[in-house]
């Protein structure tokens, strides 16, 4: 324990200096600008500038309620209370994170490993291994100010409501009659949001298509070298809505003229594309692009053959239904008569 105590004192000493956070919002936090602006100066120092709160000062150090710990910025679920333990280090400690929720990054000091929210990149703290404090031999040392807590009762209620809504919608259709269509138009959260509102659409799943890696995760794709595009799989009842209607909505909810990105999301994974499954879908896509080009639009949207679709992690599904709000980089503009 003396080695651990000495290490913790060194850790605290390295991180104790607190400076005022830059008044501006870094570009990487653009999608969550409104949330960042509501943070206190100290919260910005920790979350954006990668600072550290004083040991034993955080609200969740000796906190033991049952529920989920979420990112203070984007609300992503990060840790379960059942994985929290008392490490006597002065900061909330967890020996595991929810799958895909946390990203590990080599620290600038060359000795430690930083942990950030996998969704928005908010600084959480550091991860340590080999201390023998739990059977998992891992300690996620997290700043309380980087977290917000959702009690189990609230979590269960939200889950029940979401499941009931989804099941009620699915029960209205004969699943044997369901067709699928694939669209890539920037961040899949926004495309999913609008496509789900079309009458006849049963379900929309966020995921990835078009790349060379098998079963990619979000942060594999985000690097931009797997070839995948953020894509939605639209499951629809062709007796109630046709492919052309879906494609028209797709062209109206994003900017089909923008290359290598959509809105503030720049990168090859955010390109605009229709992944067609047959010649009929290809002809429909070509005809709609022709209509837009006759109206003066220089369409950047590509027509590509559908390949294997890989669903994204659960925390990416139904983002706006779970978190509230509306898409930050998508809005509908009528482009067809």
pLDDT digits (tens, 9 = 90+) for 94-128: 999 998 889 999 887 788 999 999 889 999 999 99
Separation between Cα atoms, residue 25 and residue 32, nearest integer Å:
9
Beta bridge partners of 205: 233
Q: What pTM value is reported for the model?
A: 0.54
For position 7, what pLDDT does the model report?
43
Q: Does the annotation mark 187 as catalytic?
A: yes
Q: Under 8 Å CB-to-CB from 192, ≥6 apart: which residues?
A: 204, 205, 206, 232, 317, 318, 319, 320
Catalytic residue among 15, 74, 120, 187: 187
Catalytic residue among 15, 120, 141, 329: 141
Mean of pLDDT over the chain:
86
pLDDT digits (tens, 9 = 90+) for 68-79: 999 999 988 999
Closest CA to 83 of 116, 127, 25: 127
Separation between Cα atoms, residue 169 and residue 176, nearest integer Å:
15
Q: Does the annotation mark 141 as catalytic?
A: yes
For position 9, what pLDDT does the model report?
40
**DSSP state string for 192-258:** HHHHTTSTTEEEEEEEEES-SSSS--HHHHHTT-S--EEEEEEEE-TTT--HHHHHHHHHHHS-TT-
**Ordered domains of the chain (ranges, CATH):** 2-150 (2.170.150.20), 167-323 (3.30.1060.10)
Query: Which range, of 23-27, 38-42, 189-193, 268-272, averages the lowest pLDDT?
Result: 23-27
Query: Which range, of 23-27, 226-230, 259-263, 289-293, averages the lowest pLDDT?
Result: 23-27
């Amino acid at each position: 324990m003396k080695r651990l105590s000495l290490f913790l004192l060194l850790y605290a000493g390295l991180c104790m200096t607190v400076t005022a956070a830059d008044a501006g919002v870094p570009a990487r936090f653009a999608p969550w600008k409104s949330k960042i602006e509501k943070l206190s100066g100290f919260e910005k120092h920790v979350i954006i500038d990668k600072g550290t709160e004083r040991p034993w000062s955080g609200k969740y150090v000796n906190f033991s309620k049952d529920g989920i710990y979420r990112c203070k910025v984007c609300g992503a679920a990060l840790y379960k209370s059942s994985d929290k333990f008392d490490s006597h280090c002065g900061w909330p400690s967890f020996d595991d994170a929810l799958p895909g929720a946390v990203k590990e990054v080599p620290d600038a000091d060359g000795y430690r490993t930083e942990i950030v929210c996998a969704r928005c990149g908010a600084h959480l703290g550091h991860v340590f291994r080999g201390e023998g404090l739990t059977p998992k031999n891992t300690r996620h040392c997290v700043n309380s100010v980087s977290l917000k807590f959702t009690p189990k009762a609230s979590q269960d209620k939200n889950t029940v409501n979401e499941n009931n809504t989804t099941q009620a919608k699915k029960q209205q259709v004969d699943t044997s009659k369901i067709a699928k269509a694939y669209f890539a138009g920037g961040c899949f959260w926004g495309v999913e949001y609008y496509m789900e509102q079309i009458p006849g659409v049963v379900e929309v799943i966020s995921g990835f298509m078009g790349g060379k890696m098998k079963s990619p995760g979000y942060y594999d794709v985000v690097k931009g070298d797997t070839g995948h595009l953020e894509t939605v799989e639209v499951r629809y009842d062709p007796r109630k809505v046709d492919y052309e209607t879906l494609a028209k909505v797709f062209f109206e909810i994003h900017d089909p003229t923008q290359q290598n990105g959509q809105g503030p999301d720049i990168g090859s994974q955010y390109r605009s594309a229709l992944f067609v499954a047959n010649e009929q879908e290809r002809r429909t896509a070509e005809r709609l692009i022709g209509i837009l080009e006759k109206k003066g639009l220089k369409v950047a949207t590509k027509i590509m053959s559908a390949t294997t679709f890989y669903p994204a992690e659960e925390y990416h599904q139904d983002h706006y239904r779970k978190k509230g709000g509306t898409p930050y980089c998508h809005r509908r503009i009528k482009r067809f008569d």
